[in-house]
Structure 1
Amino acid sequence: MTKRCGWVGAEDIYRDYHDYEWGVPEYDSRALWEKLILDGFQAGLSWITILKKREGFRQAFEGFDPNIIAMWGAEDVARLVQDTRIIRHRGKIEATIGNARAWQAIEAEEGFAKWVWSYVGGAPIQSRFATAADVPTSTEISLKLSKDLKKRGFKFCGPTIVYAFMEAVGMVNDHVLTCSAHDRTAAMAVDAPDWSKI
């Protein structure tokens, strides 16, 4: 029988996300940016709401290509606030455009993936929490990354949002010890890139 973390809902889309995506180390710069943006849109909402709209988001935001989104302006914001496929929050939409430009700057300087992963030493932190109640909602690392993202021009990236992002992209393995995905996810840490060669 598959054992899962306590936050997982009964819907298949939720279970699949937990089993095959959440906590799996992600090293692609664009994919990392997409997840950070979606976590920003989640603020004040449940993750299942975002998960159900994720494909709509991907369509509306051109596959979350930051190089395309960085060129958008007021007309695009006006179009998107009418788009029922996404969360129609003007502030978050405008922030996404600014976040795309901020991503471009970091990507050009040192690579967004390399920069983000440097906050955990380039490889996943392996947590060993017994229950969901033991899992923090933010840490000193997420606070530091949040502050630095904001300094670089990002919005909707508070320490709690950033920690949720870190969990989702595998920077920290927060599957609880009784979860079937804990050990499987931990084993993926050996595939961390040699950042010195990137």
Structure 2
Amino acid sequence: MGERCGWCGDDPLYVAYHDTEWGVPERDGRALWEKLILDGFQAGLSWITILRKRDNFRAAFEGFEPERIATWDEPEVLRLLGDEGIIRHRGKIEATIGNAQAYLDMGGADAFSGRMWSYVGGAPIVNDFATLAQVPAATPLSTQVSRDLKKAGFRFCGPTIVYAWMQACGLVNDHVIGCPARGPLAPPAQG
């Protein structure tokens, strides 16, 4: 058995996230949207910061229900700016409201999931990186997905954020070779 990806260190919360969630294919469109929003909040911060606040985010954003969030306005923005349990960034909060509207304009959960998974042909892209240094921060595909999301009205979804999101949601399997979490996530061999 090899060593797990080094980015999670030995923090028990981070290790559990790495071992049970990161890279596991997520097909639920609402969950994909939530994770994209959280990756947007992570911009400029470490992921462990978001992970430690994830339950607070879920409470503050009322379960990340896009249908509800899409109707929010200044009173909700002010409420969230006063919530010490989340990242209090007006631009990211306002982007979340706009991203909920864009998500609904795309057709909601099934349409969003279908569209995002279509970029990878419906199955995770499995990369063969031996070290973390080989894993890119962004790719031509994440640049294309970012561009398309922005055309659809999304914000805080640049190529680096999108690539991190694709990794987290299992559209891309970037567990390094030898990582115990890598094997179970890889699609079965074709042949």
How would you bin the TM-score normalised by the shorter chain?
Answer: over 0.9
What is the rounded CA distance, in whole Å, between the counterparts of 2:109 and 2:51 in structure 1? 31
Are 2:24 and 1:14 aligned? no
Equivalent in the alignment of 2:29 = 29
- Residues 21-74 of structure 1 show CA distances to partners (whole Å, capped at 9, x for unaligned) of 000000000000000000000000000000000000000001111111001001
The residue identity in structure 2 corresponding to 1:103 is: Y
Q: Which amino acid aligns with 2:143?
A: L
Structure 2 residue 178 is matched with structure 1 residue 178: yes
- Higher mean Cα deviation, 8-17 or 28-37? 8-17
Aligned-partner residue type, residue 13 of structure 2: I
Give the aligned residue type for 2:64: F
Partner of 1:142: 142
Could you say if the C-alpha distance between residues 103 and 181 of structure 1 is closer, same or farther in structure 2, counting changes exceeding 3 Å?
Answer: same
Moved over 2 A (4+): 107-110
After TM superposition, the structure 1 stretch with the greater mean CA deviation from structure 2, 102-111 or 31-40, is: 102-111
Partner of 1:195: none
TM-score (norm 2): 0.95
Q: Secondary structure at the match of 1:51?
A: helix
**Match in the other structure for 1:50:** 50
Q: Which amino acid aligns with 1:145?
A: V
Q: Which residue of 2 aligns with 1:59?
A: 59
- 2:169 aligned partner: 169
CA distance in structure 2 between the aligned counterparts of 1:113 and 1:8, rounded to whole angstroms: 27
Q: Output the CA distance in 1 between the equivalents of 2:69 and 2:79.
A: 13
- What one-letter code is carried by the residue in structure 1 that aligns with 2:155? K
Q: Which residue of 2 aligns with 1:193?
A: none
Change (3 A) 1:136 1:81: same
Partner of 1:41: 41
Show the counterpart of 1:196: none
- The within-5 A match list for 1:26-175 is 26-108=26-108, 111-175=111-175
Q: Is the Cα–Cα contact under 8 Å of residues 29 and 110 in structure 2 kept in the other structure?
A: no
Please tell me the root mean square deviation across aligned C-alpha atoms, in Å.
Answer: 1.4
Give the corresponding residue for 1:5. Answer: 5
- 1:107 and 1:57 mapped to 2: Cα distance? 24
Q: Between the two proteins, what is the percent identity of the paired residues?
A: 62
Give, in whole Å, the separation in 2 of the partners of 1:107 and 1:24.
24
Counterpart-to-counterpart distance in 2, 1:81 and 1:157: 21
Question: Per the alignment, do residues 93 and 177 of structure 1 end up closer, same or farther by CA in structure 2, a change over 3 Å counting?
Answer: same
Mapped to 2, the partners of 1:143 and 1:84 lie a distance apart of: 33
Structure 1 segments unaligned to the other structure (5+ residues): 191-198
Distance 1:73 1:92 in 2: 14
Aligned-pair distance for 1:3?
Answer: 2.1
- Cα deviation, residue 110, structure 1: 6.6
Q: Secondary structure at the match of 2:123?
A: coil
